[in-house]
Amino acid sequence: MNDYLIQILTESLQQFDLDEQPEIRIEEPNLPEHGDAATNLALTLAKPLRNNPRTIAGQIVEKLQYDENKISAVEIAGPGFINFRFADDYLFEELAGILEQGTDFGKSDEFDGRQVLVEFVSANPTGPLTVGHGRNAVLGDTVSRLLEWTGAEVEREYYFNDAGRQMRVLGESVRARYNELLGKESDFPEDGYQGEYIRDIAQSLVDEQGEGLLDAEDEKPFKEKAEEAIFADISQTLERMGIKMDSFFNEHSLYEDGKIDETVAKLRELDLAYDKDGAVWFRTTKFGKDKDTVLVKSTGEPTYRLPDIAYHANKLDRGFDLCVDVFGADHIATYPDVLSGIKSLGYDPDKVDVVVYQFVTIVKDGQPFKMSTRKANFVTLDELMDEVGADVSRFFFLMRSPNTHLEFDIARAKEAGEKNPVFYLQYAHARICSVMRKVTEEYDFSGKADLSLLNHPSEITLIKTMNKFPKVIAHAAKSREPHHVITYLNELASDFTSFYHDCRILGEDKNIAHARLTLAEAVAQVLRNGLTILGISAPESM
């Protein structure tokens, strides 16, 4: 409908002598009594046309040519807003279209044909995925789903580093536990990883190698075994959450193929990298920062910025039209430097979009639960799913805006019944399926329903709410904010509850029952489609 409104408004504007075509914005009024759609076009034309907005609005409406089967009324409100009311025939046509499109309803071509790389999770293989990683994983996967629903070809990528100090400490931790299991004295690293999973990995080495690694020259075999075991665990956890990665990218490969040295050399050529105090510095003051930033420490160890710049250059070299990064709030200070770096190297920084999410606090027994992978007092993502299930876990991770701190209350997540927000939506779908079964047992329908019989305000409201779905999905995909889908589905479920309360199906005239059943079927379809995007099941009974 938005495209149609823009078309007829554009045609009406031909009456004016305008130097350039203004942007026509169509919005949904805040109050239903103001209509179904509105535009402030007349207000934006007041200055170029040097006239009163209400007068301009009157001129636009006077020349407006529209199909009365689509629009029932056009009104001027306030200082010059133009409000549109949709015709019932249009709404019935849209309702039929929902069922015809089925599982495709809500899809669009906003990102049609664009190649998109979404990088998320990207946890180094030093331990199992924790609840903190869970928000990243679910957010990245759902953003990927939204982009796919809007036409993009998406590749999900996991970026990790199996070199560096973290992995060395991991190997030393496994080695210390291996020695302990064999009754040998061993100094556990001061900042080593203490989780039970370290002992399990060490035990597997004892089972496989016996005492064969007691005289190992370094921690390499211990590190390699840990990486293998932890990655297997991570993959299994992601699969349980309904997430499958398309590719894994090892940061270490950037060193092996010379991309790190090449990046530093290019920045030096541009006078953006220089040596000072034994370190290599990035001249970030040229990009508005108060101080320059270290790229390579005096120890020779690069900071995160250097491999990240090289990695993003690699992404864009692979031909992606858009690269979406899902980062925790701890990256807020670093990613602007990465964007400055790739821009300096000749890449378009607008092709990189960073989604920053705030961290998660687990609340158990009313108290925050602090997490630390090394101290092993963390809650793993698997433990969370054991407690509340994958559906509830995904929903709770998505129910707030990414830039809002998330308090994951275990007690609330475990609540049964409609008080639990995910169950509220699943119950709505299951209830509709139950009603559909009972109605088809009671009546023998044939042919298509007469949708013109749907004239109760609750029925009309429900159809209008369903028609919003494609726009909601497009907006959530553009903004990378899946919580908008949850907000919408709650509105849809609430409107269905009102309809179900106001409009009986069983016991009504056969034709009315058929029409209302068709409406209920469409609601079930939209709920299923929305839950599918969120990666959550839509049970037919509960």
Q: Are 284 and 293 in contact (CB under 8 A)?
A: yes
Which of 56, 49, 2, 41 lies closest to 468, judged by CA? 2
**What element of type H or E holds 361?**
strand 360-364
144 and 180 assigned to the same domain: no
Phi, psi of 39 (to 5 degrees): -140, 145
- Sole residue written with tokens 């409107």: 495
Q: How far apart are CA 86 and CA 363, in angstroms?
A: 47
Q: How far apart are CA 95 and CA 371, in angstroms?
A: 48
Q: Tell me, what's the pLDDT at 21?
A: 86
270 and 213 assigned to the same domain: no
Q: How far apart are CA 64 and CA 284, in angstroms?
A: 54
What is the number of structural domains in the chain? 4
Residue 400 maps to a domain: no
Six-digit token pair at 443? Answer: 């009546």
In this structure, which amino acid lies at residue 162?
Answer: D
CATH number at 126 reads: 3.40.50.620
Q: How would you write the pLDDT of the chain (542 residues) with one tens digit per residue? A: 888 999 999 999 999 988 888 999 999 888 888 899 999 999 999 999 989 999 999 999 999 999 999 999 999 999 999 999 999 999 999 999 999 999 999 999 999 989 999 999 999 999 999 888 999 999 999 999 999 999 999 999 999 988 778 899 999 999 999 999 999 988 898 889 988 899 999 999 999 999 999 989 999 999 999 999 999 999 999 999 999 999 999 999 999 999 999 999 999 999 999 999 999 999 999 999 999 999 999 998 899 899 999 999 999 999 999 999 999 998 888 899 999 999 999 999 999 999 999 988 888 777 766 655 445 556 789 988 998 899 999 999 999 999 999 888 888 888 776 778 899 999 999 999 999 999 999 998 889 999 999 999 999 999 999 999 999 999 999 999 999 999 999 999 999 999 999 999 998 999 999 999 999 999 999 999 999 999 999 999 97
Q: What DSSP line would sit under 22-85, residue for residue?
A: PP---B--SSGGG-SEEE-HHHHTHHHHTS-HHHHHHHHHHT----TTTEEEEEEETTTEEEEE
Residue 55 maps to a domain: yes
Q: How far apart are CA 270 and CA 283, in angstroms?
A: 10
Cβ contacts of 216 within 8 Å, gap of 6 or more: 175, 222
Q: Tell me, what's the pLDDT at 183?
A: 93
Q: Are 119 and 71 in contact (CB under 8 A)?
A: no
Q: How far apart are CA 63 and CA 96, in angstroms?
A: 31
Domain boundary at 86, 103, 131, which?
86
Domain boundary at 357, 377, 405, which?
357
CATH number at 14 reads: 3.30.1360.70
DSSP state of 211: T
- CA angle centred on 392, ends 386 and 396, rounded to 5°: 120
249 and 224 assigned to the same domain: no
- Which residue range is the domain that position 177 belongs to? 165-240
Q: How far apart are CA 33 and CA 47, in angstroms?
A: 29
Q: Tell me, what's the pLDDT at 428?
A: 94
53 and 184 assigned to the same domain: no
Count of residues making up the chain: 542
Residue 366 maps to a domain: no
346 and 252 assigned to the same domain: yes
330 and 279 assigned to the same domain: yes
Residue 91 maps to a domain: no
70 and 193 assigned to the same domain: no
Q: How far apart are CA 486 and CA 504, in angstroms?
A: 27
Q: Are 429 and 538 in contact (CB under 8 A)?
A: yes
Q: Tell me, what's the pLDDT at 19?
A: 82
CATH number at 462 reads: 1.10.730.10
Domain boundary at 240, 274, 302, which?
240
Task: Determine whether 510 is exposed, middle or buried from the number of CB atoms within 10 Å of its CB (0-12, 13-18, 19+).
Answer: exposed
434 and 477 assigned to the same domain: yes
Going by their DSSP bridges, the two strands 279-282 and 273-276 should be labelled as antiparallel
Task: Give per-residue burial for 337-355: e unless 16+ CB within 10 Å, then b.
Answer: bbbbbbebbebebebbbbb
325 and 443 assigned to the same domain: no
Residue 424 maps to a domain: yes
Residue 81 maps to a domain: yes
252 and 342 assigned to the same domain: yes
Q: How far apart are CA 338 and CA 119, in angstroms?
A: 15
Query: Helices 457-467 and 88-101: crossing angle, nearest 10°?
Result: 50
Q: Tell me, what's the pLDDT at 17?
A: 85
In this structure, which amino acid lies at residue 464?
Answer: K
Q: Tell me, what's the pLDDT at 56?
A: 94
Residue 378 maps to a domain: no
- CA angle centred on 382, ends 381 and 388, rounded to 5°: 90
140 and 255 assigned to the same domain: yes
pTM (2 d.p.)? 0.91
CA-based radius of gyration for the chain = 29
Percent of residues in the chain assigned helix, strand, coil, to nearest 5: 55, 15, 35
Task: Give per-residue burial for 127-162: e unless 16+ CB within 10 Å, then b.
Answer: bbbbbbbbbbbbbbbbbbbbbbbbbbebbbbbbbbb
Q: How far apart are CA 373 and CA 517, in angstroms?
A: 52
Residue 430 maps to a domain: yes
155 and 189 assigned to the same domain: no
Q: Tell me, what's the pLDDT at 139?
A: 97
Q: Tell me, what's the pLDDT at 374?
A: 46
